[in-house]
Amino acid sequence: MEVANIRDVPIPASRVGLGTWAMGGYQWGGADDDMSVRTIHAALDLGINLIDTAPAYGFGHSEEVVGRAVAERGQRDRVVLATKVGLERRGDALFRNGTRRQIFEEIELSLRRLRTDYIDLYQVHWPDPQTPYEETAKALLELQREGKIRAIGVSNYSIDAMLRFRAVAPIASAQPPLNLFERQAEGDILPWCHDNGVATLTYGALCRGLLSGAIDEKTAFQGDDLRKTDPKFQPPRFAQYLEAVRRLERFARDRYARSVLALAVRWVLDQRGVSVALWGARRPDELAPIGDVMGWHLDDEARAHIDAVLAETVRDPVGPEFMAPPERREAMAPAA
């Protein structure tokens, strides 16, 4: 397994990390906890040692599942536990809240759910424009000095926000969305992080399953699955993205004898500035292709072909903006 170093985290992190949003159940049509635990154990068996979660994932349920899985497995010191802070729950709604009070309340809940006395990487889930970034940074710096967290990260932050934040506290990592269909971070966040020694954990490598190759026109999303409102999964865009996936699948098979899933994750890992690509899974078999991702790279010709396919098929692209949670006075939206 390829590895990456994250400042203040004492062990190298696997370059593929396990994303556990769907294990929370909420917004994903439910989850099977026993299956989720087996999936985490399978990831560890495969050499994936970075597990990324958040209180927002199932209102703490994902953290509880991760805590259970790591406790049952043991060897806590060999796992990089990454979680987040800064989303306040009000009923079934989530709002951005980066205040010191919110952070100090959340850390105790996360430690209890994760069954640990420290968190390897503690990330601000979304910037809170109503709270000075300096206040948020100072609170995390206090927690780091107390030993409750080892490294400080941010997620979904702009460069300007990171500059203000790191004037108070060191930033070990940033977590922007990045996949073949959502590439905004290529132009700004990734180069800045690379040039400033900030590791990146990019999320959404499979674009909510769209790049897994397992979704087609007949796929039905059940219950509260957020893909029922994701604009990529609605007509007319859905057909465009599916055509792109089909063409990329043919290319991956012909050129590399691999799947579109392997191509998609390899593309993320090969981007300059990417430290870790987060891969979401809920069943052990969904991790089976990990071996097809490692040990090879895309060349310039392949990258150019991928760009051409996307330009020809996705005529009405849309980003991941729909996932951004609201500020405290606004209506709720899903949390990524």
Check residue 27 and give its pLDDT: 63
What does the CA dihedral 28, 59, 82, 176 come to, rounded to 10 degrees?
A: 60
- Whole-angstrom distance, CA of residue 328 vs CA of residue 325: 9
Exposed / middle / buried, residue 119 (Cβ in 10 Å: 0-12, 13-18, 19+): buried
* pLDDT surpassing 90 at residue 94: no
Question: 80 pLDDT band (50/70/90 cuts)?
Answer: very high
Report the pLDDT averaged over residues 325-335: 60
Asked whether 146 and 279 are in contact (CB, 8 A), the reply is no
Which pLDDT score is estimated for 331?
41
Share of the chain above pLDDT 90, in %: 85
pLDDT at 170: 97
Contacts of 60 by beta carbon, 8 Å cutoff, 6+ apart: 24, 109, 113
Average pLDDT value for residue range 329-336: 48
pLDDT over 50 at 333, yes or no: no
Quote the pLDDT of residue 1. Answer: 87
Q: 288 pLDDT exceeds 80?
A: yes
Q: Is the pLDDT of residue 336 over 70?
A: no
Quick one: average pLDDT of 86-100?
89
Q: Where are the domains of the chain?
A: 3-209+268-292
What was the pLDDT predicted at 91? 78
Percent of the chain at pLDDT exceeding 70: 96
pLDDT digits (tens, 9 = 90+) for 109-119: 999 999 999 99
- pLDDT for residue 158: 97
The pLDDT tens digits for 238-279 are: 999 999 999 999 999 999 999 999 999 999 999 999 999 999
Mean pLDDT of the chain: 93
Bridge partners of 19, per DSSP, are 52, 280
Q: In this predicted structure, what is the pLDDT of residue 89?
A: 86
The residues assigned a catalytic role are 57
Please give the Cα distance from 40 to 25 (Å, whole number).
15
Region 93-121: mean pLDDT is 96
**Dist. CA 288–CA 138, nearest whole Å:** 41
Q: What gap in Å lies between CA 43 and CA 39, rounded to an integer?
A: 6
**Which pLDDT does position 225 carry in this prediction?**
83
pLDDT exceeds cutoff 80 at 20? yes
Specify the amino acid at residue 303.
R
**What pLDDT, on a 0 to 100 scale, did the predictor assign at position 322?**
83
- pLDDT of residue 200 exceeding 90: yes
**In the structure, what pLDDT confidence band is assigned to residue 28 with cuts at 50, 70 and 90?**
low
Instruction: Decide: pTM greater than 0.75.
Output: yes
Q: Given the DSSP bridges, would you call strands 149-155 and 16-19 parallel, antiparallel or unpaired?
A: unpaired
What's the fold here for domain 3-209+268-292? TIM Barrel (3.20.20)
Residues 157-197 have pLDDT tens digits of 999 999 999 999 999 999 999 999 999 999 999 999 999 99
* Residue 334: band (very low, low, confident or very high) from pLDDT cuts 50, 70, 90: very low
Q: How confident is the model at residue 14 (pLDDT cuts 50, 70, 90)?
A: very high
